[in-house]
Chain A
């Protein structure tokens, strides 16, 4: 989409890299321009009027001016800075993971309003109580959906027959689930228990209110996490870096017999 010389947009700040003396190169996600890279001048100075409005994971209204290569942010105002999320290490980390996924998978200059809405809702949901795990799984499944990678969870991708209530195979390369018969001789995937399949279907159907009320056993939670991570890693052909950090926080909390989202 062609943009005017000076334009206004909403944006969520996904990433910031220092540039020069006190500038930052920001990666933003916007409703009608998709991923957008823009320069924020002087925001590293403590007296910067824009700095606080352009921190990571802030939802702001921006005014931008077209530059030669990169657009330059001229004005900004916070819409929401998701305060409860910032007060907690685990929630902050979950939100950074969501931001990294959008940064890695979404496209520049492609309008994707549902995806913007999803990211915004996810940040708001991470501000609420709970361990955040189902919020992330919901986010992952719908992110796949809006980007055209929706995994098939109803029928076997080998023979097309409806999936039986048994342990099937979740195959990233096939893009969904294979029945036990078709999974023989296929490239490796992960066994997907019936409960995990049902939970994925529930999340994929899109009723967050119902899905988020489900209490998952830790084994089932980590099975879901593992299957979806396998799929995302396959699509990206690399690991998601923040996922390793989430693993570490989970590991350190489990040594104390708890979950990082339920501490403190």
Chain B
């Protein structure tokens, strides 16, 4: 007799198993979600299932900037009034959303889909670096802005990219690092503070 066996209808068991694979969902949460879905109306359930399928079937990577998109090239790469001579390199698609919210940047983007992290086995070959370099070939790109995260992996990625791009004669810049708006000087760490002093501007 197997005490661990929970008698439940086979499809429900399968749903629990699938939900359990999601990040942050343990066995108990998976059960709760499964029984919630079970009580949903058929329409709602179908709409959820279709949304999941649509993500997998219709979303692709833009062949230019590697951002997630429904059409290739993506809306930004096709967009009118976009400055094609500037490329802003980011780690994740979500970083584009953050930068677009500023409405201050009119150039193009390039998504690396990660950052160099030796201990996790993520090197240049796992990132979209080859694609970035081929974009720079034979095109009038004047500036590449490295907008990787201001942490150790992001900095390492930026330094590595600078070594690859600078010899091509393209201007390579890095996002300014300094004090966050709404911050408090006394809590700032020495790396941030020393960079804020280095990068000070006329008041």
Q: Give min CB distance, B24 to chain A, whole Å.
A: 7
A95, chain B: closest CB distance, angstroms? 9
* A5 at interface, CB cutoff 8 A: no
A31 at the interface (CB under 8 A from B): no
Do most interface residues of chain B lie in helix, strand or loop, or is the interface mixed? helix
Interface of A is mostly: helix
Shortest B195–chain A CB gap in Å is 10
Q: Which residues of B contact A103 (CB under 8 A)?
A: 119
Asked if residues A242 and B159 are in contact (CB atoms below 8 Å), the reply is: no
Known A56-B151, A92-B155; judge A78-B189 contact (CB<8 A).
yes
Highest count of chain A CB atoms <10 Å: which of B24, B119, B153, B187:
B119
Chain B residues near A248 (CB-CB < 8 A): 123-124
Contact B180 A47, beta carbon cutoff 8 Å:
yes
Judge whether B194 is part of the interface by a CB distance below 8 angstroms: yes
Map CB proximity to B onto A113-129 as digits: 1 under 8 Å, 0 otherwise: 00000000000000000
B191→A20 contact, CB < 8 A = no
B160 within 8 A of A: yes
A217 to chain B, nearest CB (A): 26
**B189 → chain A, closest Cβ, in Å?**
3
Instruction: Decide: A81 near B191, CB < 8 A? Known: A55-B151, A56-B152, A92-B156.
Output: yes
Residue A52, interface by CB 8 Å: yes
Bound-complex Cα distance A81 to B184 (A): 20
Residues in A7-45 with C-beta less than 8 Å from chain B: 15, 20
0/1 interface trace, chain B 162-203, chain A, CB 8 Å (1 if under)? 010000000000000000101110011111101000000000
Cβ-defined contact, B120 with A52, below 8 A:
no
Are B159 and A55 interface neighbours, CB within 8 A? no
Contact B155 A52 (CB under 8 A): no
**Contact across chains for B156 and A93 when beta carbons are under 8 A apart:** yes
> Max chain A CB contacts within 10 Å: which of B182, B183, B184, B191?
B191
User: Across the two chains, which residue of chain B brings its CB closest to A239?
Assistant: B121
Residues of A within 8 Å of B7, CB to CB, are none
Q: Is A99 an interface residue (CB 8 A)?
A: yes
A89-B180 in contact (CB<8A): no
User: Are B118 and A52 within 8 A (Cβ)?
Assistant: no
Specify which of B116, B120, B123, B194 is in contact with A83 (CB 8 Å cutoff).
B194
With A56-B151, A88-B159, A89-B159 as contacts: A242 and B118 at CB distance below 8 Å:
yes
**B157: nearest residue on chain A (CB-CB)?**
A89
Q: Please report the C-alpha to C-alpha distance between residue A46 and residue B152 in the assembled complex, in whole angstroms.
A: 14
Contacts of B152 in A (CB 8 A): 55-57, 86, 92, 96
A23 to chain B, nearest CB (A): 11
Known: A20-B24, A53-B189, A242-B118. A47 touches B182 (CB 8 A): yes
A contact residues around B188 at 8 Å (CB): 52
Say which residue of A20, A78, A86, A99 sits within 8 Å of B119 (CB atoms): A99
Given contacts A78-B189, A92-B152, contact A47 B183 (CB under 8 A): yes
Determine if A55 and B191 form an interchain contact, defined as CB atoms under 8 angstroms apart: yes
Are the C-beta atoms of A15 and B189 separated by less than 8 Å?
no
CB within 8 Å for A96 and B159 given contacts A56-B151, A244-B123: no
Question: Given A81-B190, A86-B152, A92-B156, list of 4 further CB < 8 A pairs?
Answer: A51-B189, A89-B163, A93-B156, A242-B119
Point out residues on A near B: beta carbons under 8 Å.
15, 20, 46-47, 49, 51-53, 55-58, 78, 81, 83, 86, 88-89, 92-93, 96-97, 99-100, 103, 241-242, 244-246, 248
Q: List 5 A-B contacts (CB under 8 A).
A: A15-B119, A55-B152, A58-B189, A241-B118, A242-B119
